[in-house]
Amino acid sequence: MHCDHGSRYQLVSRRSCRAMAVGLLLTCGSLAAQNAPPSPTRESAWLRVNQVGYLPEDPKIAVLSSDRPLTGSFSIGEFTADIGPDQGAWGPFAHNYRLDFTAFTQPGRHTLRFGPDLACTVKIGPDVYDGLPDKLLGFMRLQRCGLNPITGQKCHQEDAIDTTTGERLNMVGGWHDAADRIKHMITTTYCVAALYLADAYDEAQHGRLMIEKIHPNDDVIYVQVADDRDHSPPEALWHEDRTDYGWGPGGPRSAWRATTQPAGPKYQNRSSGLASLAGRASAAMALAGDVGRARRLYAMAKAHPGNAMSVPVKAPYYYGESTYHDDLEWAAVELFLATGERPFLEEAIQHADRAGDNVWMGRDRHGHYEFFPYVNLAHWRLYPHVPPEVQVRLAGYYRSGLERIRDIAIKNPYRLGTPLVWCSTNNVIALATQAVLYERMTGDRQFRTLAAEARDWIFGRNPWGVSFVIGVPEDGVASRRPHHLFWKLAGILPVGGLVDGPVYKDINDSLKFMPFDDDAYARFQSDIGVYHDCYADFSTNEPIIDGTVSLLLLVKVWSD
């Protein structure tokens, strides 16, 4: 896959982007009010659709939300149907209706209409997602550390120094994790493995080099490079970073070892082992073809069961993963696929049964990255290679989690069944991915609509009517003022980055450290969820590499 860098990263002013957001805000609203911010006095009903589009055979369900009860029919092309029963109040809306136009399959751009004033453009076709992978990978290239292909600049050439021994290391490379300049190996290891599975080999190879560096010998694996001292002023782009980690401004940065016990100089994480990190790293290296390193990492993971967590320094926030048998399973099955050695297959089955289903599914809350990476890809990778009785168990692990989410989703008009915790888009994409993989494994189509509605939530069929992929689609309402230094300092819109997404209001309130800009989406906020398209809101509008790669993989498996 390739990316035309010039077409993906536009130099735009923040003022012009603000105007663009307001102008596009009502693309799926009242025709009389499209050039004005939403107002209960000017508009009382809104249409929400997937702005990227629908494959012809997709389930296609728009949501019509209103301040008042509605009746009547809607139309798209020659298709007409009743709007159906009132689904009741949810979020910011008193009345909601599900407009099912699944039967309409004609490719093209169509107008979905309700009444004389309410209309929305809908795209249908087998190619509606064709341009998306390049945009997602374009964001990953912008996140590269070392030599950045987007800016042409070098950064962090002195990475890093071991915080335990003071040893100088070569940790140049990898990806900046999100809007800041920290390099988290928890997310990097996953991204490398998932990129290989998504056939994004060039970007996977870039990350692979970093995994080689974090495991210099059998006894050591590093969990991150840099830390939240990165957040200290002054703010700067990757190549202008002058943060002082104790070795001079702009000098070497800290390399933190993964430990089997809590770690951190002031605030401590709850690390208990190395298996989660080393297991994922092993799977990634097996997919990369480095079987020797994959074997060593798997041995490390088995020798040190438990979870590795990122290291907090200034603030008590860290990636607090709590599961690791899924990572051991992933390592074992990829080693089996790479070597054909039966013991790896037998161990993968044992780990699979210990991992079971995804325990976050059905919960209304969980901790920050507690169940990362949210979908157990190893069950899918293992399924074709095991006896029928094991296949039944693996499919059952997927099905039980999907059933719990469906039981929640059926109770609201948007069919959202995943929790609105920090990085909620990760959960939504994991659900959709698991549903698609379950259907691929079993032929059982019962979760197809659940998957489609989760995907559609990402691309605008949500209360805010916003695509959570920055700048996608170009002609739609999407995140355009993200929490990202390239946007704030250089006016470079990091197109293709998936943002964290909406969170419960109490979470957003607890993570609000500075005033937000004028909120163009104020009408659509509620206790159920809030989202702000502004730089200040890092809890809903910060792009993440792991979510972006997860979306890339979802697009890939959906098309297979």
Q: Are 62 and 120 in contact (CB under 8 A)?
A: yes
Q: How many domains is the chain partitioned into structurally?
A: 2
Q: Which of 284, 300, 316 is the last residue of a domain?
A: 316
Beta strands in 79-184 (DSSP E): 79-82, 95-100, 108-114, 118-124, 161-162, 183-184
- pLDDT the model gives residue 36: 34
89 within domain boundaries: yes
Report the first-to-last Cα separation within the chain, whole angstroms: 16
CATH code of 84's domain: 2.60.40.10
Nearest to 49 by CA among 73, 74, 72, 21: 74
Q: Are residues 162 and 303 in the same domain?
A: yes
Q: Are residues 241 and 115 in the same domain?
A: no
What is the pLDDT averaged over residues 542-546? 97
SS3 for 31-83 is HHHCCCCCCCCCCCEEEECCCCCECCCCCCEEEEEECCCCCCEEEECCEEEEC
Q: Are residues 178 and 120 in the same domain?
A: no
Q: What is the b/e burial string over 240-270, where b = at least 16 CB atoms within 10 angstroms of the residue's CB?
A: ebebebeeeebebbbbbbbbbeebbeeeebb
Task: Find the helix or strand (DSSP H, E) in which 339 lies.
Answer: helix 325-339
Distance CA 305, CA 300 (A): 9
Q: What is the b/e burial string over 379-399, where b = at least 16 CB atoms within 10 angstroms of the residue's CB?
A: bbbbbeebeeebbeebbebbb
With cut-offs at 50, 70 and 90, classify the pLDDT of residue 43: low
Q: Are residues 218 and 291 in the same domain?
A: yes
- Is pLDDT of 132 > 50? yes
What is the pLDDT averaged over residues 486-509? 95
256 within domain boundaries: yes
With cut-offs at 50, 70 and 90, classify the pLDDT of residue 42: very low
329 within domain boundaries: no
Distance CA 361, CA 408 (A): 10
Q: Are residues 30 and 105 in the same domain?
A: yes
276 within domain boundaries: yes
CATH code of 167's domain: 1.50.10.10
Q: Are residues 177 and 309 in the same domain?
A: yes
Q: Which domain holds residue 73?
A: 5-129+462-524
pLDDT tens readout for residues 301-339: 999 999 999 999 999 989 999 999 999 999 999 999 999
Length of the chain: 560
Distance CA 191, CA 136 (A): 12
Q: Are residues 165 and 300 in the same domain?
A: yes
Name the β-bridge partners of 416. Answer: none
- pLDDT the model gives residue 282: 98
Q: Which of 268, 291, 316 is the last residue of a domain?
A: 316
Supply the mean pLDDT for the chain.
92
Residue 119: half-sphere exposure toward Cβ, Cα within 13 Å? 12
- pLDDT the model gives residue 32: 33
349 within domain boundaries: no
Q: Are residues 108 and 214 in the same domain?
A: no
With cut-offs at 50, 70 and 90, classify the pLDDT of residue 21: very low
Distance CA 155, CA 16 (A): 29
What is the pLDDT averaged over residues 144-157? 95
- pLDDT the model gives residue 105: 98
Residue type, 460: G
- Is pLDDT of 5 > 80? no
Q: Are residues 312 and 183 in the same domain?
A: yes
- pLDDT the model gives residue 8: 28
Distance CA 317, CA 310 (A): 9
Q: Are residues 13 and 100 in the same domain?
A: yes
Name the β-bridge partners of 435. Answer: none
Distance CA 314, CA 21 (A): 35
Q: Count of H helices and E strands in the chain?
A: 16, 11
DSSP-derived letter for residue 178 is S
- Is pLDDT of 26 > 50? no
- pLDDT the model gives residue 245: 95
Instruction: Report residue 266: phi and psi, to 5°.
Output: -125, -65
With cut-offs at 50, 70 and 90, classify the pLDDT of residue 25: very low
Measured between alpha carbons, how far is residue 235 from residues 160, 192, 242, 299, 541 in Å?
Answer: 20, 28, 9, 41, 18
Q: Are residues 309 and 179 in the same domain?
A: yes
pLDDT tens readout for residues 48-57: 999 999 999 9
Looking at 7-11, 413-417, 494-498, which range is the least confident one? 7-11
249 within domain boundaries: yes
pLDDT tens readout for residues 108-128: 999 999 999 999 999 999 999
- pLDDT the model gives residue 29: 58
pLDDT tens readout for residues 196-244: 999 999 999 999 999 999 999 999 999 999 999 998 888 999 999 999 9
113 within domain boundaries: yes
Provide CB contacts within 8 A for 232, sequence distance 6+: 243, 314
Q: Are residues 48 and 161 in the same domain?
A: no
196 within domain boundaries: yes
pTM confidence score: 0.93
pLDDT tens readout for residues 410-441: 999 999 999 999 999 999 999 999 999 999 99
- The residue to which tokens 């012009």 are assigned: 16
